[in-house]
Structure 1
Amino acid sequence: MDGYEGGTGDTLNLSRLNLESLDLDEMSQDRKRETQQLYLPYNRFTVLPASISLFSNLVFLDISHNGLAFICEDILRLSKLKTLIAKNNRLDEFSLPKDFGSMSLEVINFSGNRFEEVPSQFLKLQTLHYLSLGGNRLKTIPSEIENLTSLEMLYLGGNAISSIPPELANLRYLSYLVLCDNRIQSIPPQLTQLHSLRSLSLHNNLLTYLPREILSLIHLQELSLRGNPLVVRFVKDMTYDPPSLLELAGRTIKSRNLPYTPWDLPGNLVRYLDLASKCPNPKCGGVYFDSCVRHIKFVDFCGKYRLPLMHYLCSPECTSPCSSNPQSDADSEDESSVPAHRMQKVLLG
């Protein structure tokens, strides 16, 4: 029983003791009463012990990495419990007490379990700020998710979710939304109502476009898109056809401002020279006609996270708008020079 005295002050650490039950007869009442944080990971519990209710002042409970398949109703007696961590067990939507939704939990992490649905009890937790159900077997996000009005972070990565309900946009305090490694094919435009959103993780899904409305998420600092057809397709399209001799001659005339008149050149060449497009790179005085470089800066490769933007450049060497220097990239304002229709081409695919 001496092992049950691990930890100091208000923290009791009983992890990695191969416990199958929690016999607290030899533990003092004062010790039980003063414990506010209890760690029980890496034991052999299959059911949360009923004796857990003896820790009447418990605020934090970690029961991760056990064989838990059921959480007993005695947990409901922990009226002060705010954080419940139960990662990597065998829990599913039938493992929770019926009245679990009456608790005052603020943080729930049930990642790495066997949930095929978001438990209805979770959707009644009005005080919940953080919900993690990553690495489960979820196929859908219920529309009732909008009931979690205090939610600030939602982690649902690593499931089999195929769509996002518009009701998710009603979570006015949501700042971090993680939906990576799913099967999501589209983003509802309503998501742009998440005015508090700072981070949106959508990598490794099936997205082929983004709604243009996403530009209205003015507080968004991180947007992760790698591993989606949207990104893969545009990266593959970044090919460069070398300019023809005609274009090289035209570039020389235009970039060096060589004088000419309609009497000096055939009419078709004069018309061709009038089609020159100025390189949008403010540090470059070059032009292009038919051959240009489509240089796309995507959001999740390195440096500062940004929305995808396409730059039409005159040559592969003209790369200032998409500098590899992290500092200059972060400070660059070249995006403002990209016409809206080109940005739309990238965003809408």
Structure 2
Amino acid sequence: MAERLLIRVMKGGNHAKIVTLNGKKITKMPTSLENLTGLRSLDFQNNQIFKVCPQLSTLTQLIFLNLGNNFLEEVPEEIKYITSLKKLHLFGNRISKFPPGVCDGLQNLILLNLNNNKLTWLPEEVGRLRSLTYLSLNCNQLTSIPRQLCFLKNLSELYLNYNQLSRIPEDIKYLKKLQRLSLARNNIEFLPEEFCDLKKLRILDVAGNIIQIFPSGFQDLKLQEFYCEENPLFRKEPIIADQQEDLWNLLEITARFIMNQLEEKNSFIMHAIEEYPDIKNKISKGKRCVICGKFFLTTWLECVQFVSPSETWKISKNLKLIPLRVLLCSQKCFSERGPNIFGIA
């Protein structure tokens, strides 16, 4: 049947640019596709295809390929030879894996839609899709995302709704062009501090997770839309941390001295630290106290500060205050905190 339908397309010659065989109950892709060497768009959506034909790899001018709502069980290996491909739709299949090397030839791909499949993991090679601007992985079974995905420097839209993610990698800070991020209905407990480096982010959806508190720089994001309903956010109530005497070990005392001297541009310390890369790496993980502004390393009090969302944000209904995680360096600073900062028991 598919061959007959394709023959009709080819009656006018082998120069067809667009082929649409949508919803024709096709079970097998026609091998005569290899005759359509100038094909630019191919749509086999809503059929019953289990496997693509090898001839697909000969369509070296193809830009758009839609194999959505079929019975594929893996990303077709043949597509790695279609180096011209820019938009690939594989939604609504049974895909659970990527064959090795399948991303190698897709250097021009800008859109990848893998919604509604059975993916439990993504290969590290997804980081090779250098031109990708739109990636949608809604309704899969992902428990994590590889850090390599965070190096897709052109990515502007990322959709990961309805998965099983528990955390977001700190390397997300490298998605410098990310404008829209959807993480709704996962198992995410917190967003990393590095999340606040997403200066281009405009739309964020984290509804239906288990987030209680957001990172301290969150209010500085230039969001336009923010959705966080159905999360167990901290409420503005007097929750007081246990009062403990400050006892710092020698490492903490030394680290605080070095970090605060570096902040004051002490030339001797700045020069000396270059000779000790291990120490330099350790103090690079230091935190700044929200009360006194000084640096500390491993000893702190975790508190929550409540801030009002920006008036320019479109937000979830009934969101009045956003709980932010702030760190204090000592009990002394805790006793000097303002009325809007609470300890976390």
Fold match, TM over 0.5?
yes
Query: CA separation in 2, counterparts of 1:179 and 1:344?
Result: 28
- CA deviation profile, 1:155-191 (whole Å, cap 9, x unmatched): 1110000111110111101111111100001111111
Between the two proteins, the alignment pairs up a number of residues equal to 251
In the TM superposition, what is the alpha-carbon distance from 1:28 to its structure 2 partner? Answer: 9.0
Give the 3 Å change call, closer, same or farther, for CA 96–190 of structure 1 in structure 2. same
Which deviations, in whole Å up to 9, do the C-alpha atoms of 1:270-319 show, x marking residues without a partner? xxxxxxxxxxxxxxxxxxxxxxxxxx9889xxx933894459xxxxxxxx
**1:3 lines up with 2:10 in the alignment:** no
Distance 1:71 1:115, change over 3 A: closer
Calculate the aligned-residue CA RMSD, in Å: 3.3
Q: Is residue 304 from structure 1 mapped to residue 314 from structure 2 by the alignment? A: yes
Is the counterpart of residue 216 in structure 1 residue 223 in structure 2? no
On the 8 A contact 1:16/1:43 being kept in 2, the answer is: yes
1:55 and 1:341 map into 2 onto residues whose CA distance is: 66
Correspondence for 2:136: 132
Partner Cα separation in structure 2 for residue 52 and residue 199 of structure 1: 37
Which of 199-208 and 15-24 deviates more?
A: 15-24
| Higher mean displacement: 155-164 or 71-80 | 71-80
Does residue 20 (structure 1) correspond to residue 27 (structure 2)? The answer is yes
Q: Which amino acid aligns with 1:168?
A: I
Q: Is the 8 A contact 2:83 2:105 kept in 1?
A: no
SS at match of 2:315: coil
Residue of structure 1 aligned with 2:150, choices 139, 146, 150: 146
Is the 8 Å Cα contact of residues 91 and 113 (structure 1) preserved in structure 2? yes
Deviation at 1:227, TM superposition (A): 0.8
CA–CA distance in 1 between the matches of 2:321 and 2:154? 37
3-state DSSP of counterpart to 1:200: strand
1:286 paired residue number: none
Secondary structure of 1:12's aligned partner = strand
The equivalent of 2:89 in structure 1 is: 85
Which residue of the partner structure matches residue 53 of structure 2? Answer: 49
SS for the counterpart of 1:92 is coil
Contact 1:310 1:343 in 2 (8 A): no
Secondary structure at the counterpart of residue 150 of structure 2 = helix
* Superposed displacement of residue 98, structure 1: 2.2
Q: 1:133-176: CA deviations, max 9, x gaps? A: 11111111222222211111111110000111110111101111
In structure 2, what is the equivalent of residue 121 of structure 1?
125
How far apart, in 1, do the equivalents of 2:90 and 2:339 lie? 47
Q: Give ranges in structure 2 of 5+ residues lacking alignment.
A: 238-306, 323-336
**What is aligned with 2:230?**
227
Amino acid aligned to 1:34: G
**1:1-349 to 2 correspondence within 5 Å?**
1-4=3-6, 5=8, 10-25=17-32, 29=35, 32-93=36-97, 95-104=98-107, 105-217=109-221, 219-230=222-233, 304-305=314-315, 308-310=319-321
Match of 1:34, SS state, is coil
Question: Partner letter of residue 225 of structure 2?
Answer: E
The alignment partner of 1:101 has SS state of coil
Counterparts of 1:73 and 1:138, CA distance in 2: 21
| Distance of 1:180 and 1:130 partners within structure 2 | 17
**Aligned AA (1:206):** I
Letter aligned with residue 20 of structure 2? N
Cα 1:147–1:298 shift into 2, 3 Å: closer
- Sort the Cα spacing of 1:76 and 1:227 in 2 relative to 1 into closer, same or farther, 3 A: same
Distance (whole Å) between structure 2 residues aligned to residue 55 and residue 342 of structure 1: 66
Q: Is 1:212–1:344's contact at 8 Å kept on the other side of the alignment?
A: no
Give, as a single letter, the amino acid of the residue that structure 1 aligns with 2:146: P
For residues 23-46 of structure 1, give each alpha carbon's deviation from its aligned partner in whole angstroms, at most 9, with x where no partner exists: 243x794xx233211111111111
Amino acid aligned to 1:225:
C
Which residue does 1:251 correspond to in 2? none
* Residue segments in structure 1 that go unaligned for 5+ positions in a row: 238-295, 312-339
Which amino acid counterpart does residue 196 of structure 2 have in structure 1?
A: T
Identify which range, 3-12 or 42-51, moves more after superposition. Answer: 3-12
**C-alpha deviations, 1:5-30, integer Å up to 9, x for none?**
569963211111111222243x794x
> Do the aligned residues in 2 keep the contact of 1:310 with 1:342 (CA within 8 Å)?
no
- 8 Å CA contact retained: 1:6, 1:14: no
SS state of the match for residue 16, structure 1?
A: coil
- Are the counterparts in 2 of residues 163 and 184 from structure 1 also a CA contact under 8 Å? yes
Give the % identical residues. Answer: 25
